[in-house]
Amino acid sequence: MPDSRFERQLEKYGPESPHEPCSLAAATDYCQHLTKSHYENFTVASWLLPRELRPHFAHVYAYCRWSDDLADEVGEDQRSLDLLAWWRGELEACYQGKAWHPVFVALSETIREYQIPIDPFANLLIAFEQDQRVKCYGSHQQLLSYCENSANPVGHLVLYLGRSFRPETRELSDSICTGLQLANFWQDVARDYAIGRIYLPEEDRRKFGVTEEMIAAKSASAEFRQLLQFEVERAENYLRSGRPLINMIAPQLRLDVELFLAGGLAICQAIRQQKFDVLQSRPTVGKWKKLQLLLGCWTRRTFSRNAKMSVSAGQEATV
């Protein structure tokens, strides 16, 4: 069923709208309002970012938000595909200096400032288009290929904003983003099935003896729990493999990235605490746990920074 709020946005800024020109200031305000109204953690995350980065993160988030809504909030697969094709055209126009939509007017400033290529933005659209055509996956490798477009480009954008995009950081970022995407899939097995999507790979379901009928019946059998444990442990391995990234990127982004990583592991732990039954109730990370994660990451970052300063001061004193 279409989202009425987003339908109103389409009337104002969609392909049939008047295409009225928008100033950069108005476009930035639009993106920041959109971000704060949709992303409950943005206020906390923005505290952790340097002031000059905050609007650029909002610009990128607004692009991702619109892309996601075009894929999931318009009610029909074909209509979504048509709108995503229009959105891709607007992205290409943005890179040609012809932006009019507030998201792209704002994003064009970010693209120029941080020299971001079109690829990560375009690859996200490939994943959203795939969502309309592909409802289940045969193998883990097929799911990884999907994550290459659905999750990893977000990490690339963060690296560009931190001026930290390099082959070695890209590889570690991909590991974190893929792990986080997989953790979200296993958290939302029941929700996704309700909208016709199964991300548990068919080869894994067959290996553990899990049928689609079990998922439909919300039957968290021993076989299903064993399958979820296998998938969760694999997601945790991806997340932990990416941990070295934290100390390889711009210092102003380290706390945010550590929080993303900790959040993914917390989702996996929440699934484990429910004994891998994600069919009867959706495992969540509560606000108190989120606060603990924030304080823990902040304490580690602060302690590490102070320790380095003490070592540096001691070395200078001995010179």
pLDDT digits (tens, 9 = 90+) for 116-158: 999 999 999 999 999 999 999 999 999 999 999 999 999 999 9
**Distance (Å) of CA 119 to CA 88, 95, 265, 268:** 11, 11, 28, 30
**Helix axis angle, 54-72 to 24-38, nearest 10°:** 70
What is the mean pLDDT of the segment spanning 9-16?
92
Q: Which of 11-20, 36-45, 192-201 has the highest mean pLDDT?
A: 192-201
Global pTM?
0.88
Q: Please tell me if the domain spanning 1-133 has the same topology as the one spanning 135-294.
A: yes
Where along the chain do its domains lie?
1-133, 135-294
Give residue for tokens 């968290």.
Answer: 220
Best CA proximity match to 267, nearest among 300, 239, 243: 239
The CATH code of the domain at 1-133 is 1.10.600.10
Provide the 8-state DSSP code for 40: T
The CATH code of the domain at 135-294 is 1.10.600.10
Q: Backbone dihedral region of 20: left (phi > 0), alpha (psi from -120 to 50 degrees) or beta?
A: beta
**Taking the alpha carbons of 174, 180, 183, 188 in that order, is the dihedral positive or negative?**
negative
Q: Compute the C-alpha angle 12/98/158, nearest 5°.
A: 85
pLDDT of res. 313: 46
Choice between 308 and 263, residue whose per-residue pLDDT is larger:
263
Provide the 8-state DSSP code for 243: G
What is the mean pLDDT of the segment spanning 207-217?
96
pLDDT of res. 150: 96
* Candidate from 46-50, 161-165, 199-203 with smallest mean pLDDT: 46-50
Residues whose CB is less than 8 angstroms from the CB of residue 214 and which lie 6 or more positions away in sequence, other chains included? 221, 223, 224
Query: How far is Cα 263 from Cα 267, in angstroms, rounded to an integer?
Result: 6
pLDDT of res. 18: 85
